[in-house]
Amino acid sequence: MTRENLKASALAMLDMAYCPYSHFPVGAALECEDGTVYTGCNIENGAYSACICAERTAIVKAVSEGKRRFRRIAVAARTKEYCVPCGECRQVMNEFSPNMEVICMNEAGEDMTLPLSALLPHGFNLPE
Ligand code: THU
C-alpha cells in the first residue's frame, strides 16, 4: 500500500471510533512487513481502564492473525496537532518492531513521521 493510502485508511477509521466518554476519535492503519494492513480505532468502556487505543486495536488484530513484524503505522485524530501514540502503545509497538516508522497525522492529513526509537528511546524488551 502506498504511504498516502495508509494515511487515508487511518483517517477513514476515525468514523469507526467508539469514544462516548472522551469524544476524541483516533484512527490507525498498520502496515506489516509482508505488506498486509490492519486498521484500528479507539474503543472506550464505561470502566475507563478497559479503554483501548486505536494503535493497539490494529496491533492486536495483526498479532492475532500471526503478524509480528511491522513496517509502519499511521495514526490520525481530528486535531490541528499531530496525533502521537501514548506511552503504552509505544511500548507495545516496541515489543514487535523497535525500528518501525510512526506517521503522526493531524486533521488536515499532514504528518510528522518519526522512527519509533525517537518516540521511545531505550525501550524495554526482555532479554532473549
Ligand atoms: N487514544 C488513542 O486511541 N491513541 C492515542 O495515541 C492517544 C489516545 C485514545 C484513547 C482514548 O479513547 C481517547 O483517545 C482519549 O484519550
Going residue by residue through the chain, which has 128 residues, state the pLDDT in tens, using 9 for 90 and above: 999 999 999 999 999 999 999 999 999 999 999 999 999 999 999 999 999 999 999 999 999 999 999 999 999 999 999 999 999 999 999 999 999 999 999 999 999 999 999 999 999 999 98
DSSP-derived letter for residue 52 is B
Residues in contact with ligand 1 by the CB-under-6-Å rule are 19, 22, 24, 26, 42, 44, 51, 53-55, 75, 83, 85-86, 89
DSSP-derived letter for residue 82 is -
Q: Considering only CA atoms, which of 59, 54, 123 is closest in space to residue 83?
A: 54
Identify any residues that bridge with 26 across adjacent strands, giving them in sequence order. Answer: 77
For residues 111 and 104, the answer to whether their CB atoms sit within 8 Å is yes
In the set 31, 33, 44, 55, the catalytic residue is 55
- Flag whether the pTM goes above 0.95: yes
State which fold the 3-112 domain adopts: Cytidine Deaminase; domain 2 (3.40.140)
For residue 106, report the distance from its CA to the centre of ligand 1, in Å.
14
For residues 17 and 42, the answer to whether their CB atoms sit within 8 Å is yes
For residue 55, report the distance from its CA to the centre of ligand 1, in Å.
9
